[in-house]
A = this chain, B = another copy of it.
Amino acid sequence: MEDLIIDLLAQVRRQKPLVHNITNLVVMNSTANALLALGASPVMVHSPSEVREVVDLAQSLVLNIGTLSELTAESMLVAAEHANNIGRPWVLDPVGAGISAFRNDLLANLLELKPTVIRGNASEIMSLYNFNQVNTKGVDSTADSKDAIGFGKALQEQLGSTICISGKVDYILSEQHTAEVHNGHPLMTQVTGLGCSATALIGAFLAITDHPFEAATAGVSLLSLAGELATARSSGPGSLQVNLYDELYLLNEERIRMHLNLKLYGN
């Protein structure tokens, strides 16, 4: 898997794929910068009047419902449907799943369109599985990622999507495989939008491979790895955010081989 991730990263940097983001207003700048630092090319367009044309232009689509509005909800549905029609992969970040009926309704509609990949924290994944049984505390996770594995697997079976659960350990679940990422650092939870950045990186890898599980594992693990390396030279969450972009830019074969802590299981 390490060899594969190193190869996928090289491909992103060579191809600079165009990644279309309809994302939340809090993280627009930071996810665009994460994509650029990795080597991809972000385009952030969300008006219903033009999302369809941009789905056509781009190689993948990232949907993040963080700061939802009636307008972006409509855009996301139009974009996801069009992506499916033309065979473009897309990843969903169900930020704050469970906090409102409006949000749950949109998520139900998006799940019907079967995202290629879904990435969220434990509360969000549990909430997606059953909108009525879990209380989410805002956008942070109140549950351990391990607790959500069963929900993630059930969701995987229902939808066929690759499911990623971020937390102390990150889990990536496909029909046939499970990956565990043992990188990252607790200080990363005190910077806004790092989960959203992992989702955006998944989008970058989806753009250059037909294997969603590999794309999801590459995106999740490289964000966690870059965050861990960045934390080691940061004095707090401000410098961590800045150093994270530098570490994404500096990722190379040597650093990945030395520091990536990834476990892969067959199901």
Contact = CB atoms under 8 A, between A and B. Distances in A.
B45 A99 contact: yes
The 3 A-B residue pairs whose C-beta atoms are closest, nearest first, are A236-B246, A238-B245, A50-B100
A10 interface: no
A235 B46 CA distance: 32
A109 interface: no
Interface in A21-36: 24-30, 32-33, 36
A231 to B, nearest CB: 12
A33 B247 contact: no
Interface of A: 16, 18, 24-30, 32-33, 36-37, 39, 41-47, 49-50, 53-54, 57-58, 66-71, 96, 99-103, 137-140, 189-193, 234-239, 241-250
Nearest to A43: B138
B67 A37 contact: no
A190 B37 contact: yes
Given A37-B238, A246-B235, A250-B235, A192 B47 contact: no
